[in-house]
């Protein structure tokens, strides 16, 4: 058996690359044909369809809301900030949304998820798309983290904050042959420093949905959207975080997100979900790194080591990607100031 594995280890990788090289033009042509057909002949009409969007109060969730609104969908906007949702719901109505229901809820709590899904069914009588956009990232080296109480918060938001809504909504999505949309990131397989816990959570999330795809078969579609670095509400602005029994944060000022990569990514996600695409990638050229990871991992490692050797990070640096939700883990008040390439937290005197 060891001899067989040794022979396969030497033969299979180069043979696979050779086959892929010859098959690529044909596969690419078939992919283009499928995309054109799904775009012009089988794209789902969202007029009066019911779409639930979590994390809709800012960032990519807000922009996805507007894209569905332009298609005439009935919307259910879910986030912790009800006041923020009110303004977004008005914008969505002006863009063409038939009806908009806003619900303040915390997606890391299963009871809250049951509540907003049940309210959706009671109000609309059905559910067609579930769009999970809640996410929270960080920019600290793992061994430099000074408070491990943030670790489960990151996992809760990035993993359970997607799984719980899916778990509750799945029976209703089966009835409508609906679609689940997941906001992921290229970090789920592309190793980047200072993002260890975020990458681990996203990797778990992707594997969960890839497995679920086989379990639900063709009854429910799943679109996994992955992105590189895109701008969000945390690119600029200043936020205050204080300790509380639950995850809390308040803004000194709101920062609207529009235009640029976020809006473009949102358009791609909604278009892909309506076509039933299994994957949406922005930008797609990131995929080339996956080949290096599989067939030449040392080259990828050396490249990133060279690029990031001199990089640094604050001992308590955090950055929100998507909708930032931070939990004050210590009794100290902290000020989070956003910079173009990260967010640093500094302690404030009482």
CA angle 236, 241, 245 (to 5 degrees): 145
pLDDT score, position 260: 59
pTM of the model: 0.76
Digit-coded pLDDT (tens) for 208-231 = 999 999 999 889 999 999 987 654
Structure tokens at 9: 């280890």
Q: Token pair 């910079």 is at which residue?
A: 339
Residue 4 CB burial class (10 angstroms; 0-12, 13-18, ≥19): exposed
Strand stretches in the chain, DSSP E? 50-54, 74-79, 100-104, 129-132, 137-138, 179-183, 221-227, 238-241, 250-251, 279-282, 318-319, 333-339, 342-348
Cβ(59)–Cβ(86) under 8 Å?
no
- What does the pLDDT read at residue 190? 80
Q: What is the pLDDT of residue 93?
A: 96
Q: What are phi and psi of 321, to 5 degrees?
A: -115, 115
C-alpha–C-alpha distance, residues 203 and 183, integer Å: 12
Among 182, 88, 75, 194, which Cα is nearest to 123's? Answer: 75
The answer for residues whose C-beta is within 8 angstroms of residue 146's C-beta and 6 or more apart is 315, 316
> Given this model, what pLDDT does residue 205 score?
95
β-strands 333-339, 342-348: how paired?
A: antiparallel
What pLDDT score was predicted for residue 312?
44
Please report, in angstroms and rounded to a whole number, the separation of the first and last CA atoms in the chain: 67
Q: Which of 124, 164, 172, 198 is catalytic?
A: 198
Question: So where are the chain's domains?
Answer: 33-245+254-309
Q: Angle CA(307)–CA(234)–CA(56) in degrees, nearest 5?
A: 125
- In order, the DSSP letters of 136-179 are -EE---GGG-S-TTHHHHHHIIIIIHHHHHHHHHHHHHHHHT-E
- Confidence (pLDDT) at 41: 74
The mean pLDDT values, 10 residues at a time, for the chain of 350 residues are: 86 84 85 78 88 93 96 96 93 95 95 97 97 86 84 92 97 96 86 84 94 94 84 37 30 38 90 93 80 81 74 41 37 34 33
- Is 123 catalytic? The answer is no
At CA 164, angle to CA 225 and CA 326, rounded to 5?
75
Give the orientation angle of helix 288-295 with respect to helix 297-308, to 10 degrees.
Answer: 120
Beta bridge partners of 318: 138
Residue 333: the pLDDT is: 35
Has domain 33-245+254-309 been given CATH number 3.40.50.720? yes
Measured distance CA(100)–CA(48) in Å, rounded: 11
pLDDT at 229: 61
């Amino acid at each position: 058996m060891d001899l067989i594995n040794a022979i396969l280890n030497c033969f299979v990788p180069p043979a696979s690359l050779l086959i892929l090289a010859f098959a690529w033009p044909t596969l690419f042509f078939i992919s283009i044909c499928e995309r054109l057909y799904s775009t012009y002949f089988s794209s789902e009409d969202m007029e009066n369809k019911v779409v639930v969007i979590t994390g809709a109060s800012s960032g990519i969730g807000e922009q996805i809301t507007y894209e569905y609104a332009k298609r005439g969908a009935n919307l259910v906007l879910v986030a912790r900030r009800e006041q923020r949702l009110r303004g977004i719901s008005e914008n969505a109505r002006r863009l063409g949304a038939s009806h908009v229901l806003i619900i303040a809820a915390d997606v890391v709590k299963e009871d809250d998820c049951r509540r907003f899904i049940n309210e959706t069914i009671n109000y609309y009588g059905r559910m067609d798309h579930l769009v999970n956009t809640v996410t929270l990232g960080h920019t600290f080296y793992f061994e430099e983290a000074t408070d491990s109480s943030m670790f489960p918060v990151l996992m809760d938001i990035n993993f359970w904050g997607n799984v719980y809504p899916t778990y509750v909504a799945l029976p209703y999505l089966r009835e409508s042959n609906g679609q689940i949309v997941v906001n992921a990131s290229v970090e789920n397989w592309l190793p980047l420093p200072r993002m260890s816990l975020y990458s681990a959570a996203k990797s778990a999330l992707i594997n969960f949905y890839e497995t679920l795809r086989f379990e639900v078969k063709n009854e429910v579609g799943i679109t996994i959207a992955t992105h590189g670095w895109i701008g969000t509400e945390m690119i600029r602005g200043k936020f205050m975080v204080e300790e509380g029994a639950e995850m809390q944060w308040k803004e000194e000022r709101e920062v609207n997100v529009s235009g640029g990569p976020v809006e473009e990514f949102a358009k791609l996600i909604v278009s892909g979900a309506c076509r039933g695409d299994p994957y949406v990638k922005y930008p797609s050229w990131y995929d080339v790194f996956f080949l290096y990871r599989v067939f030449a991992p040392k080259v990828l490692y050396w490249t990133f080591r060279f690029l990031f050797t001199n990089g640094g990070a604050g001992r308590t640096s955090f950055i929100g990607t998507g909708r930032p939700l931070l939990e004050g883990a210590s009794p100290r008040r902290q000020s989070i100031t956003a910079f173009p390439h990260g967010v640093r937290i500094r302690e404030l005197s009482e």
